[in-house]
Structure 1
Amino acid sequence: MDKTASGWVSGFIGVLIFSGSLPATRVAVMDFDPIFLTAARAATAGILGLVLLIVLRAERPQRGDLFSLIIVALGVVVGFPLLTALALKHVTSAHSIIFVGLLPLATAIFGVIRGGDRPRPAFWLFSCLGSALVAGFALAQGGAASPLGDSLMLAAIVACGLGYAEGAALSRRLGGWQVICWALVLSLPAMLTLTLMTKPASFDGVGINAWIGLCYVSLFSMLIGFVFWYRGLALGGIAAVGQLQLLQPFFGLALAATLLHEQVSPVMIAVTVAVVFCVVGAKRFAKQNAHQEVAAE
């Protein structure tokens, strides 16, 4: 399997893992404070990341990589988790799909700005069309509107798109799993302190579902998913592979149908097929850089 194909496979696995993030966060914030949830998930993943770096004897990043790691940490370790946790106190996870549909476009834009990607014009056509399809489908599902919740989700998408693009560009030198682990370790002192400061006086009122949600976002959303995702972006191209995120809302609905026995409508299937078409079109017209040699193992 060549590097580009391997990148798309890794990106696809990452999207599957991330598909459960918003529902898990929604469940967790029912019993946990959003700030505690953000700090606890980052601290837990940071400790695991530190263990991985030590056991696998990962090479330390260069001084010049520090700025990029800070951007990654602010974007995906702190910014996106905190902003979405706060937003999901005001909007449903279904409503948040509207904004997840804009994430591929945000990632592509920052991929051009920070990662050096140069997609062809047709790429932007497919990207915008796919985003519009996802947003339109989400709007058609209904959901209570909240100006504050919507503003928080929009800010979360911007932070996440920047963190994705910056981390992917850095993964070309450090490797995918190393980038997220170093970003987590960089955030660890502050997140561990914040966890202790914001922890509830008692956990007696916390339900099992909230604990499961916390475990999922700590282990899968915060660490394992990024190992695959950054590797995929680095190998296959930030703008191109980033379009796989258009499928994320539909994976989430498919999981809900399987695990929660919710109905999957023919409209969902039709829109999913159209989005797949957009992903294929975006892949076809995404121009790859010649220097995309990656240390993403």
Structure 2
Amino acid sequence: MMERTQRMEGLLLGTLAVAAFSLSLPATRAAVPELGGTVVGLGRAVVAAALAGALLLVRRERLPERRHWARLGLVALGVVVGFPLLSALALRDMSAAHGAVLVGLLPGATAVAAVLRAKERPSLGFWMASAAGLVCVLIFAVAQGAGGLTAGDGLVLLAVVAGALGYAEGGALARELGGWRVICWALVLAAPVLVPVVALSVGASVSQVSTRAWLGFGYVSLVSMFLGFFAWYRAMALGGVARVGQLQLLQPLLTLLWSALLLGEEVGRDTFGASLLVLLCVLAGVRSRVRQLPAPVVR
């Protein structure tokens, strides 16, 4: 009963995190044209690192054990640097809607990373549900006219790989450290490298940046790079990296919705049908059995 309760809590927190992350690409797209890809991609981590450092100091948290630092470095490389920077650079010349279709590959990539890094063994039913969801996303991509791969597409695909590794490693490490500590320490670890890079990338015209761009940057800094991971890594610690990761299949469709509502980007009417199909695949995936090594969940 307790295991089922933890799994349900994990799925609820995962859904909340996915809803928060679904605004990341539109917010990034709103900020990149004026602030630049490097400032948006890495500057968000600098802001989040300041918040994380303050939280750790207030709570008087001890440094993680030495055996955890390499794993925290992998988390930082994947979700603090890799995914934000690569996706921001791609969105200089790409719509958020187009990027959302490619990010639909992230759940499958996270499941593979979970097998490699989190020592999980999804069942055949899980893989079949995941494959069905990915097929839905790819069909939807064709319907939206994603077409052949461009340089921007390549950057997003590399971002997907980076994000999957960071998600899987962070989700596994959250069982030992607690989800919020994982992202906080990863941010603090990356900060000394990121601060000078961002400082050199800030242009003289920053004072002329629009309110819309600042709001987009503020969202990816506070929510996408900080608060969203509190729920996300906690969810993975409770529900398993592979199972909770499949909730990301909903993210590209939510992102398409936000792209249309907030950015005025054109999205086809078949979105609702695709959303229903993907939702069914998500439900099948999260109900499938995923074996993982037992470990204490840190609150």
Shorter-chain TM-score: which interval?
A: over 0.9
- The aligned residue for residue 99 of structure 1 is 102
Q: 2:33 aligns with which of 30, 33, 57?
A: 30
Q: Distance in 1 between matches of 2:134 and 2:201?
A: 37
Please tell me the residue identity of whatever aligns with 1:50. G
- Residues 149-188 of structure 1 deviation map (CA, whole Å, 9 limit, x = unaligned): 1111111000000000000010000000000000000011
Q: 2:66 aligns with which of 63, 68, 72?
A: 63
Q: Distance in 2 between matches of 1:196 and 1:261?
A: 32
Please tell me the residue identity of whatever aligns with 1:234. A
- The aligned residue for residue 178 of structure 1 is 181
Q: 1:41 aligns with which of 41, 44, 57?
A: 44
Please tell me the residue identity of whatever aligns with 1:85. A
Give the TM-score, by structure 2 length: 0.93
- The aligned residue for residue 212 of structure 1 is 215
Q: 1:227 aligns with which of 213, 226, 230?
A: 230
Alignment of 1:105-116 (within 5 A): 105-116=108-119
Structure 1 residues 42 and 159, CA, compared in 2 at 3 Å: closer, same or farther? same
Structure 1: unaligned runs, 5 residues or longer: none
Q: Distance in 2 between matches of 1:81 and 1:106?
A: 17
Q: 1:236 aligns with which of 202, 225, 239?
A: 239
- The aligned residue for residue 165 of structure 1 is 168
Task: Report the CA distance between 1:106 and its aligned residue.
Answer: 0.5
Q: What's the % identity of the aligned pairs?
A: 46
- Residues 232-291 of structure 1 deviation map (CA, whole Å, 9 limit, x = unaligned): 111101000100000011222333455568888662222211111111111122323250
Q: Distance in 2 between matches of 1:280 and 1:18?
A: 19
Name the count of aligned residue pairs. Answer: 296
> Residue 155 in 1 paired to residue 155 in 2?
no
Structure 2: unaligned runs, 5 residues or longer: none
Task: Report the CA distance between 1:39 and its aligned residue.
Answer: 2.5
**Farther off after superposition, 274-283 or 220-229:** 274-283
Please tell me the residue identity of whatever aligns with 2:156. M
Task: Report the CA distance between 1:142 and its aligned residue.
Answer: 2.5
- Residues 37-80 of structure 1 deviation map (CA, whole Å, 9 limit, x = unaligned): 22211110000000111112233211000110000001000011
Structure 1 residues 203 and 265, CA, compared in 2 at 3 Å: closer, same or farther? closer
- The aligned residue for residue 258 of structure 2 is 255
Structure 1 residues 147 and 258, CA, compared in 2 at 3 Å: closer, same or farther? closer
Q: Distance in 2 between matches of 1:154 and 1:262?
A: 21
